[in-house]
Every structure is written in structure tokens, then in C-alpha cells.
């Protein structure tokens, strides 16, 4: 119980974030003609946050499953780098390890990196409960949104902008938090360049691939800039 209370206290902000974005996703799914069960299952098994919102118009437009999978991989590829810092911790968590990998989202990563564990607390159990609660918040939001879309009448025009708004907040936070502006500038150049070159239907995946490759090459100057700030 001590670990559960600790996990609840540290995930309350995530609850409100996931609740409202999950509701937006569920309502979009309902508006697209998908039922409550599929919306809830998407939250449970895909658990890709903003990618799930992006997924809805792609499904409506008839995007193929490989295209959806590739898009999901590149949008969420950053989670691979998140996991590197938790390899040893997750390995010792036994049967909970696959679940911790599945649920390592931006928000859960942020909590696990910054949380100060109380004395006498089972850290692995507390980390597992933090990840599980965040997951449940998201599933609950998807379920509520799907129910609202099925049984209540809403004008949903503009609700898909919630994903754009979410990304804008992340970009602004990155600009303010980090000294190096190279990640932002690299992403902007890649996105605008491929948008002008290939058009809005084809630019996203090439720009993501190019941006990822560029950031790998620019890793050392970015880290040097951040290290200088810390000093």
C-alpha cells in the first residue's frame, strides 16, 4: 500500500494529461465509426499517446498497416533511447520487465527519472505501479471519450488539433529547457525541406528518418552544449 500511495501522488499530473488527450482520441475514434471496444483496446495494447490521434485520420484515409507501423516506429523511436537508462533496473524486475518496456512513455520516463523514492520503499514495485497507473489513466480516458462519442452529441471540429497542441507544448518546453537549439533547428529544417520537396502527403516519414540520422551525427555537439550549461 505504501508503494501504491507513493505512485498515486507522483502520477496525479499525468492523470489529467492522459485523461483529456485520451478522451480526445476516443471521441475521434467514435466519430470515425469505431466502437468503444476498439478504442479502449487501442489504449490498452497500442498505448502510443499522440500517435493514436494521428492514427485516426490515417485509418480514415485508407493508410496501409505497414505505413501505420512505420509511422508509429519513427514517432515513438525516442522511447528506445529512454529505455537505455533503465536496462539494469528493468532486467531485475523479472516478469514485469516486458510491461515496463511497453509503458515507458515520455511522461512515465519523466517521472521515473526525477522521482525521489522514500526510505523503506520497494523501488521496483513503486516504479511498476507508476507505469501501470499511467497506462490505466490513458485507457480510462480512451474509454470515456469513446463512450461520450457514442452516446452524446458533440461538434468535433477542431478536436484533432489536441495532438498538434500537445506537440507544440513539448517543442516550446524543449526550446526553453535546453541550451542547445540544434534538435529544434534540425527538425524544423528537415520538416520544412521535405514538405516543400514532397508535399504534405509524403513528407513525414522521410523527414523523420533524416532528422533521426542528423541528430545521431550531432550528438556530440549537443551534449557538449548541455554539459557547458551544467557547469
State pLDDT tens for residues 165-202: 766 766 776 677 667 777 788 888 988 998 999 887 77
- Separation CA 185–CA 192 (nearest Å): 11
Same domain for 208 and 121: no
Q: Is 89 domain-assigned?
A: yes
Say which residues have a Cβ less than 8 Å from residue 163's Cβ, sequence separation at least 6. 21, 24, 50, 53, 54
Query: Is the overall model pTM greater than 0.85, yes or no?
Result: no
Quick one: what percent of the chain has pLDDT higher than 90?
A: 23
Q: Is residue 163 part of a domain?
A: no
Nearest Cα residue to 27 out of 135, 134, 136, 161: 161
Does residue 200 lie in a domain region?
Answer: yes
226 in the same domain as 144: no
- Tell me which long-range contacts 40-45 makes (C-beta under 8 A, separation of at least 24): 40/139, 40/142, 40/143, 40/146, 42/142, 43/138, 43/139, 43/141, 43/142, 43/143, 44/135, 44/139
Q: Is residue 37 part of a domain?
A: yes
Domain hosting 194: range is 178-231
Asked if residue 153 and residue 182 are part of one domain, the reply reads no
Evaluated on CA atoms 224, 225, 226, 229, the torsion sign reads positive
Measure the CA–CA gap between 51 and 71, rounded to whole angstroms: 8
Q: Is residue 223 located within the same domain as residue 132? A: no
Tell me which residue of 39, 24, 11, 208 sits closest to 114, measured CA to CA: 11
Mean pLDDT per segment of 10 residues, for the chain of length 231 residues?
Answer: 89 88 88 90 87 82 81 76 80 91 86 84 92 95 90 68 67 71 83 88 80 80 62 52
Does the residue 167 lie in any domain? no
Question: How many structural domains comprise the chain?
Answer: 2
122 and 17 in a single domain? The answer is: yes
Residues 48 and 106 in one domain: yes
Amino acid at each position: 500500500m505504501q508503494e501504491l500511495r507513493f505512485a498515486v501522488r507522483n502520477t496525479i499530473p499525468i492523470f489529467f494529461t492522459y485523461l483529456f488527450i485520451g478522451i480526445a482520441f476516443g471521441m475521434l475514434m467514435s466519430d470515425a465509426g469505431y466502437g468503444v471496444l476498439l478504442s479502449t483496446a487501442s489504449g490498452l495494447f497500442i498505448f502510443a499517446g499522440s500517435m493514436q490521434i494521428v492514427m485516426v485520420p490515417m485509418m480514415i484515409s485508407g493508410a496501409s498497416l505497414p505505413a501505420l507501423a512505420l509511422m508509429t516506429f519513427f514517432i515513438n523511436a525516442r522511447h528506445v533511447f529512454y529505455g537505455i537508462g533503465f536496462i539494469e533496473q528493468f532486467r531485475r524486475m523479472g516478469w514485469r520487465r516486458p510491461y515496463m518496456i511497453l509503458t515507458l512513455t515520455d511522461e512515465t520516463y519523466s517521472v521515473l527519472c526525477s522521482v525521489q523514492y522514500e526510505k523503506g520503499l520497494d523501488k521496483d514495485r513503486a516504479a511498476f505501479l507508476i507505469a501501470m497507473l499511467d497506462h490505466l489513466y490513458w485507457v480510462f480516458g480512451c474509454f470515456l471519450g469513446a463512450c461520450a462519442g457514442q452516446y452524446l452529441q458533440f461538434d468535433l471540429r477542431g478536436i484533432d488539433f489536441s495532438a498538434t497542441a500537445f506537440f507544440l507544448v513539448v517543442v516550446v518546453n524543449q526550446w526553453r529547457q535546453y541550451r542547445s537549439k540544434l534538435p529544434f533547428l534540425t527538425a524544423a529544417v528537415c520538416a520544412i525541406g521535405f514538405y516543400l520537396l514532397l508535399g504534405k502527403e509524403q513528407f513525414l516519414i522521410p523527414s523523420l528518418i533524416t532528422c533521426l540520422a542528423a541528430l545521431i551525427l550531432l550528438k556530440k555537439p549537443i551534449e557538449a552544449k548541455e554539459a557547458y550549461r551544467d557547469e
